[in-house]
Structure 1
């Protein structure tokens, strides 16, 4: 380590002699060997000629020049036994130096990583102003043909979503909030905050926003294949294959992993369900609707809220006590996972206090009868055709 500039080995209970080899550290500007049990002569060459008595204080057996406030060296101490000196160096000094170097490297890497996290958070906050702008109510009227019913994509608890086309030909989804609902204002602020700061391939992206007195709206990426709920239950759409269902849930899991662990502050979606999972032209899933999402700041692993999510998908502790945590999203993910492979909603009439969806699936697994529920969703011949068409060697699906 010829470029070493700073070395502090004080208060380490080090014994033995100070290695003469340290004289070769010509870049060494600071050395602290105080409060140890070192012995022998203090080297005089290289950087040692610049060190003061403070560098060697509280080492009673050291000797050297008077300016270092140690005893003068005698013949007996000037030439210690070479084997003993080598033993002390190998046993104490070298491990001490290596430990100090490793500790310094670790601290440096930790500081660098903390700075990177701060930069990521800062960039995330600055990013929205650079990539999306506010639009007027008149512009929204133009791109949606006056919010024509023919462009209505769907409605939700806080407003409606319309399909629109920008001047550059880009198709978008315009989410207009119902201003008669007080909760809609909170949902608008929450969704703006969340979507403007996060970036992931499996999350819906915000393009523009409208924040006027008589209009609160978000302009989002248009998802041509609609929601997962429509694919599961609408007769107008063909059934999804087993592979497509699995890929969709992998996309959703990736989005949740980013929200919970990939952003500087954990984000809880709070309302994960098929209606909030949108599919693009390539059937890639995007998690949407962050109207009631929560940030877990200050190192908290959970928080509380009075806002209720969708019945059947929210975790028990959320419904009973309003406790919000990442575990609640994982619970909702599990419900959607069971629903997508069984095509049964958690609120199906067959489920009551005695039989929940979770218990129903558990019983089927115990009876080894889960294939009887999954297989009718998609014809066996068509499933084989898709698997073979993708180059996947076919084996019985229940294996």
Structure 2
């Protein structure tokens, strides 16, 4: 019996010797895990700092330094946008394209936003992008999509805009149904776009040329109010200059031919693109794909029919409810798409004419 008891105690002592070894091993594994986590966090932090520097974060801070409250609000941490989009979940994608992907997100302050992940990779473009963000941060107009800020802690900068829920002007115009937007709505939207361009061209401290005006970047909110968006191609013009020479950028069908051939960008390039939108509103034809039986593009065919007094061939039947206003808008559109840039009207004059067309209607409605 004694012998067996000794064996049992010996066995128990042998088991207790393994305890410290197991605890030590567990501590070593835990230390390694914590070190790896620390290393990973440091690596992420270094990478964020690298991207922030690469994306000219210091330049943006410097440009915004005179308005510290704007600077603090404009530069948004990556963690905030990761949470806002559920780690950039594919289900949050609104649309994608050649210029990047747009995600829907909800910020910690409960603002619903659209987060644009750009495809910019060239350092020169990043420098220009930062300058544009600094300018756009100071824009506040009801017909311009509000820029909340940007994130510079990723390989390419992220832009954060207010979320506009009702699609684009292009979406509403080019539906399969025979009827689209009413003539009143089209005229009002055209006036709102004109107003936003007047603001960009002449009401901000440094005039801005949008450079890519088209129906697909004119967003409509819940009240069908138009908001101009997509300032990725925009350029600002120093106040002492009338234009600048730059790499041609824009969308086929809307692109100013004079700018295309000379690379000289002026505010009249936006006027041309706006004229194309007026033609699109009048005809419901797509500027980038339309070809007449004679092989003419939309702009050429429209101008030819207008000069022949035969616009009825191309005008959307629904807009005929606009009466004489349709002819006036058609004439205005033709002046905007004049091949000679210097003969095009300014956006201020265009806005004035469009407002003038709406005033009589407003008075009539009040009287009736």
The alignment's TM-score, normalised by the length of structure 2, stands at 0.63
Question: 1:303 corresponds to which residue?
Answer: 244
Displacement of 1:125: 6.3
Q: Say if 1:204 and 1:220, in contact at 8 Å, map to a contact too.
A: yes
After superposition, the Cα gap between the structure-2 partners of 1:312 and 1:182, relative to the gap in structure 1 and judged at 3 Å, is farther
Change beyond 3 A, Cα 1:209–1:128: farther
1:392: how far off? 6.5
Cα 1:375–1:313 change in 2 (3 A) is closer
Instruction: State the structure with bigger RCO (CA 8 A, min sep 6), 1 or 2.
Output: 2
CA distance in 2 between counterparts of 1:362 and 1:247 reads 23
1:233 to 171, 174, 179: 174
Distance 1:254 1:125 in 2: 28
1:162 aligns with 2:66: no
Is the 8 Å Cα contact of residues 132 and 206 (structure 1) preserved in structure 2? no
Shift of 1:263: 1.7
**Among 240, 264, 267, the residue aligned to 1:326:** 267
Indicate the SS of the match to 1:132.
Answer: helix
Q: Give me the whole-angstrom Cα distance separating, in 1, the residues matched to 2:253 and 2:230.
A: 17
Q: Secondary structure at the match of 1:212?
A: coil
1:174 aligns with 2:137: no
Deviations 1:148-181 (A, max 9, x none): 2222122243211111122333211111122556
**Distance between the aligned counterparts of 2:128 and 2:279, measured in 1?**
28
- In the alignment, structure 1 residue 214 sits paired with structure 2 residue 130: no
2:136 to 195, 199, 214: 195
8 Å CA contact retained: 1:178, 1:184: no
Higher Rg = 1
CA deviation after TM superposition for structure 1 residue 361, in Å: 1.8
Structure 1 window deviating more from structure 2 (140-149 vs 228-237): it is 228-237
Per the alignment, residue 346 of structure 1 pairs with 287
Alignment: residue pair count: 265
Which of these residues, 254, 259, 271, is aligned with residue 313 of structure 1?
254
Structure 2 match to 1:246 = 187
Secondary structure of 1:324's partner? strand
Mapped to 1, the partners of 2:297 and 2:275 lie a distance apart of: 13
Within 5 A, what are the aligned runs for 1:1-399?
A: 126=67, 129=70, 132-180=73-121, 185-186=126-127, 188-235=129-176, 239-350=180-291, 355-371=296-312, 373-377=314-318
Question: Which sections of structure 1, spanning at least 5 residues, go unmatched?
Answer: 1-121, 381-389, 394-399
Deviations 1:302-332 (A, max 9, x none): 1110142111111112111211000110001
Rounded to whole Å, the distance in 2 between the matches of 1:358 and 1:321 is 20
Describe the shift of the 1:244–1:270 C-alpha distance in structure 2 as closer, same or farther (beyond 3 A).
Answer: same
Change (3 A) 1:234 1:282: same
Aligned-residue CA RMSD in angstroms? 3.3
Measure how far apart 1:184 and its partner are: 5.8
Instruction: List gaps (5 residues or longer) in structure 2.
Output: 1-62, 322-361
Verify the 8 A CA contact 1:158 1:184 in the aligned structure 2: no
How far apart, in 2, do the equivalents of 1:308 and 1:326 lie?
A: 14
The structure with the largest strand share of the pair is 1
Query: Residues 77-119 of structure 1, C-alpha deviation per residue, up to 9 Å, x if partnerless?
Result: xxxxxxxxxxxxxxxxxxxxxxxxxxxxxxxxxxxxxxxxxxx
The answer (yes or no) to whether the contact 1:135–1:208 under 8 Å persists in 2 is: yes
- Contact (CA 8 Å) 1:158, 1:181: kept in 2 or not? no
Quickly say closer, same or farther: Cα 1:265–1:134, change in 2 above 3 A.
closer
How many angstroms does 1:145 deviate by?
2.0
Greater per-residue helix proportion: 2
Question: In structure 2, what is the Cα distance between the partners aligned to 1:362 and 1:124?
Answer: 49
Q: Residue 227 of structure 1 contacts residue 275 of structure 1 at CA under 8 Å; is this kept in 2?
A: yes
Q: Secondary structure at the match of 1:209?
A: strand
After superposition, the C-alpha distances for 1:237-295 in whole angstroms (9 at most, x for unaligned) are: 97211111111110110011111111232211111111221111111111111112111
